[in-house]
């Protein structure tokens, strides 16, 4: 298909991308312009119009959605196609729970900017006839090959959406008794009441109650006994759990096959745990579950109850739990501390960002030198750790070649990862990408090649201290025995000229045009070591 802006005189037969109003009438999106339409549009003074000219192999959005929808709809979901819009409604065909993976839904919506899937909240209770989702194609005409590609991408997994029909679920409760008194019994009763209230529509049938002492061995035995007989086990603890080796977590680890959720990030309710043992699911309810509301905890519990199989990937621990109205106590008001009281950076030090350049192909090293194991971690992580432990902030790592490998190692660090898709064009593309990302409040930026495993936080701090925060037109260069080395700090007014020290700096002058405002920072021999050739790697790994 050809999507373009057409001269109105040659637009007969094109298909409109948008609704077009002609006096009191509307030519709808998807309408094929006729000769009469052209005359009316000319009268209105319209000279250009955007639309689609079809070619063999193009299909309508309605046809495309009719091919895509069956790939998305699983158990107990039907769909309805609209003849007047580029959308398809997805409808529940029974009462039940709407099942959908947030991660898979996000992945679907990343496939193409022209295809959109919206749904109701996953794990919501649904009635037959409820609309649970909508698929939309933004363009009224699409290539058949586009649809074929979408169907291929969706063909390697079970359908994305389904409704789990309501059915009774037999469950057992294990109480771990610490006080074994009336107050504890009341606490247990309140948790059970909250559980029944929150999940009244799941047809939970509590068939057994077991008790154990709040001790590791006794609790593990009770969990194992319940899981051997019942498909769903709730554990209600006699004390909250503070760490993974506490009584109930340790007992769960000993008795379960797999822990799929070991906590949730909610300060008042962190000790939710979910595990599996053969065909049984085990849910350890938080100690304060009777007093604190948690939509995330309830969502995870509902997921565990309703999903056929549960895995650790079903329970991502990256959610931010919003605070309710929370007030300071009198004691807390008397102990308010400014963050500046604990800042390590001296007030006169410059604010320097760090850009670690980790996008190159390692051609001369003949392998990916940045991923060479050095003391139990990849070589490039040495420079990353040195920057994090220094006074440089914020930290940026520019990846490119085999980016996924590097980014996996950076996943749990609160730093900025920038992917340079043009890394093959040279290191300057990475430098530009990094410097363009540095916030304006920074006085300058430290450029660090990622192949410098001996760089230390102390030396980085020495460079930062040498930078005059009141002068943004300056350059700080490392030097050892009269030879210039990386890393270098460029003042913010010099970002357009920023570069690294070349390897042959001992053979020619380096940054001579900046000599009027260059500071040389004395380095030790190890701080400036970089890795370029196979023998460099062998020497380093054999130390």
Specify whether 108 is located in the same domain as 255.
no
The pLDDT-based confidence of 365 (bands split at 50, 70, 90) is very low
pLDDT over 60 (residue 341): no
Specify whether 246 is located in the same domain as 100.
no
Nearest-angstrom CA–CA distance, 48 and 50: 7
* Average pLDDT value for residue range 401-419: 93
For residue 317, the model assigns a pLDDT of: 66
Nearest-angstrom CA–CA distance, 241 and 273: 10
For residue 510, the model assigns a pLDDT of: 72
For residue 318, the model assigns a pLDDT of: 61
Specify whether 126 is located in the same domain as 236.
no
CA distances from 155 to 102, 149, 160, 357, 486 (A): 18, 10, 10, 38, 50
Residue of 477 and 534 predicted with greater confidence: 477
Nearest-angstrom CA–CA distance, 513 and 462: 24
* Average pLDDT value for residue range 201-214: 95
3-state DSSP assignment of residue 296: helix
Radius of gyration of the chain (CA): 31
For residue 400, the model assigns a pLDDT of: 94
DSSP-assigned beta bridge partners for residue 91: 78, 131
For residue 339, the model assigns a pLDDT of: 65
The whole-angstrom distance between residue 159's C-alpha and the CA centroid of its chain comes to 23
What confidence tens digit (pLDDT) does each residue in 270-284 have?
999 999 999 999 999
Phi, psi of 280 (to 5 degrees): -110, 145
Lowest mean pLDDT among 45-49, 317-321, 450-454: 317-321
Specify whether 395 is located in the same domain as 491.
yes
pLDDT over 90 (residue 160): yes
DSSP for 220-258, written as a single string? HHHHHHHHHH-SEEEEE-SS---STTSHHHHHHHHH-SE
> What total number of domains does the chain contain?
4
Q: Which of 458, 462, 479, 455 is nearest to 384 (CA)?
A: 455
Specify whether 358 is located in the same domain as 493.
yes
DSSP for 172-224, written as a single string? EEEEEESS-SHHHHHHHHHHHHHHHHHTGGG-EEEEEEEEEESSHHHHHHHHH
Nearest-angstrom CA–CA distance, 534 and 511: 29
* Average pLDDT value for residue range 10-19: 92
Q: Is residue 322 part of a domain?
A: no
Packing angle of the helix pair 61-72, 144-154 (nearest 10 deg): 10
Specify whether 34 is located in the same domain as 100.
no
What confidence tens digit (pLDDT) does each residue in 322-337 have?
777 778 888 888 888 7
* Average pLDDT value for residue range 412-439: 94
Nearest-angstrom CA–CA distance, 289 and 237: 10
Nearest-angstrom CA–CA distance, 197 and 193: 6
For residue 108, the model assigns a pLDDT of: 93
Expressed as residue numbers, the domain containing 297 is 169-314
Nearest-angstrom CA–CA distance, 477 and 484: 7
Q: Is residue 308 part of a domain?
A: yes
pLDDT over 60 (residue 230): yes
Burial environment of residue 464 by CB neighbours within 10 A (0 to 12, 13 to 18, 19 or more): buried
Lowest mean pLDDT among 48-52, 304-308, 335-339, 377-381: 335-339
Give Cβ neighbours of residue 311 (< 8 Å, ≥ 6 apart). 260
The pLDDT-based confidence of 236 (bands split at 50, 70, 90) is very high
Specify whether 260 is located in the same domain as 190.
yes
Specify whether 146 is located in the same domain as 183.
no
What confidence tens digit (pLDDT) does each residue in 83-126 have?
778 899 999 999 999 999 888 999 999 999 999 999 999 988 99
* Average pLDDT value for residue range 204-226: 97
Residue of 76 and 338 predicted with greater confidence: 76
Specify whether 119 is located in the same domain as 7.
no
pLDDT over 90 (residue 530): no
- CATH code for the domain of 457: 3.90.550.10
* Average pLDDT value for residue range 287-293: 93
Q: Is residue 190 part of a domain?
A: yes
Burial 54-68 (b: 16+ CB within 10 A, else e): beeebbbbbebbeeb
Specify whether 78 is located in the same domain as 32.
no
Residue % of the chain over a pLDDT of 70? 93
Residue of 414 and 531 predicted with greater confidence: 414
**Pick from 165, 187, 216: which residue ends a domain?**
165
Specify whether 93 is located in the same domain as 213.
no
pLDDT over 80 (residue 431): yes
Q: Which of 288, 287, 317 is nearest to 300 (CA)?
A: 317
The pLDDT-based confidence of 319 (bands split at 50, 70, 90) is low
pLDDT over 60 (residue 466): yes
Mean of all residue pLDDT scores within the chain: 90
Packing angle of the helix pair 247-255, 216-229 (nearest 10 deg): 40
Q: Is residue 93 part of a domain?
A: yes
H-helix segments, 313-400? 330-333, 380-389
Specify whether 307 is located in the same domain as 407.
no
> The tokens of 418 are what?
């920038």
């Amino acid at each position: 298909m050809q999507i373009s802006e057409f001269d109105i005189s040659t637009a007969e037969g094109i298909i409109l991308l948008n609704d077009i109003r002609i006096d009191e009438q509307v030519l709808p999106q998807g309408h094929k312009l006729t000769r009469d339409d052209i005359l009316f549009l000319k009268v209105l003074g319209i000279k250009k119009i955007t639309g689609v000219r079809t070619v063999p192999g193009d299909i309508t959005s309605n046809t495309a959605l009719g091919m895509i929808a069956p790939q998305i709809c699983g158990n107990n979901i039907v769909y309805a196609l609209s003849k007047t819009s580029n959308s398809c409604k997805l409808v529940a065909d029974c009462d039940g729970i709407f099942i959908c993976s947030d991660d898979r839904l996000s992945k679907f919506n990343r496939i193409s900017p022209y295809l959109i899937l919206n749904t109701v909240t996953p794990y919501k209770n649904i009635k037959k006839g409820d609309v649970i989702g909508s698929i939309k194609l933004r363009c009224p005409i699409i290539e058949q090959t586009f649809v074929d590609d979408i169907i291929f991408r969706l063909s390697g997994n079970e359908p994305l959406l389904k409704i789990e029909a309501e059915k009774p679920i037999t469950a057992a409760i294990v109480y771990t008794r610490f006080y074994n008194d009336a107050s504890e019994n009341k606490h247990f009763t309140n948790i059970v009441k909250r559980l029944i209230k929150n999940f009244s529509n799941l047809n939970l049938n509590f068939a057994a109650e077991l008790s154990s002492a709040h001790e590791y061995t006794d609790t593990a035995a009770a969990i194992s006994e319940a899981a051997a007989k019942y498909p769903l086990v709730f554990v209600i603890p006699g004390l909250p759990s503070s760490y993974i080796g506490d009584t109930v977590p340790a007992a769960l680890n000993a008795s379960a096959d797999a822990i799929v959720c070991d906590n949730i990030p909610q300060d008042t309710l962190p000790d939710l745990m979910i595990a599996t043992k053969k065909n049984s699911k085990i849910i350890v309810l938080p100690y304060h579950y009777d007093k604190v509301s948690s939509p995330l905890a309830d969502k995870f519990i509902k997921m565990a109850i309703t999903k056929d199989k549960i895995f650790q990937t079903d329970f991502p621990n990256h959610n931010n739990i919003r605070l309710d109205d929370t007030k300071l106590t009198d004691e807390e008001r008397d102990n308010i501390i400014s963050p500046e009281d604990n800042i390590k950076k001296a007030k006169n030090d410059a604010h320097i960002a760090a850009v670690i350049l980790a996008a190159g192909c390692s051609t001369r090293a003949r392998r990916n030198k940045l991923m060479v194991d050095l003391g139990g971690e990849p070589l490039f992580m040495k420079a990353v750790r040195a920057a994090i432990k220094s006074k440089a902030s914020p930290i940026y790592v520019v990846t490119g070649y085999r980016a996924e490998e590097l980014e996996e190692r950076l996943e749990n660090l609160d730093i900025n990862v920038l992917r340079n898709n043009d890394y093959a064009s040279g290191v300057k593309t990475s430098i530009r990408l990094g410097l363009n990302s540095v916030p304006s409040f920074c006085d300058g930026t430290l450029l660090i090649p990622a192949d410098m495993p001996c760089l230390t936080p102390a030396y980085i701090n020495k460079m930062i201290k040498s930078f005059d925060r009141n002068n943004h037109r300056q350059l700080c260069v490392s030097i050892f025995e009269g030879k210039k080395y990386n890393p270098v700090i460029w003042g913010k007014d010099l970002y357009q000229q920023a570069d690294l020290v070349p390897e042959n700096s001992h053979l020619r002058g380096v940054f001579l045009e900046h000599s009027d405002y260059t500071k040389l920072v004395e380095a030790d021999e190890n701080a400036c070591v970089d890795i370029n050739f196979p023998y460099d790697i062998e020497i380093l790994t054999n130390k």
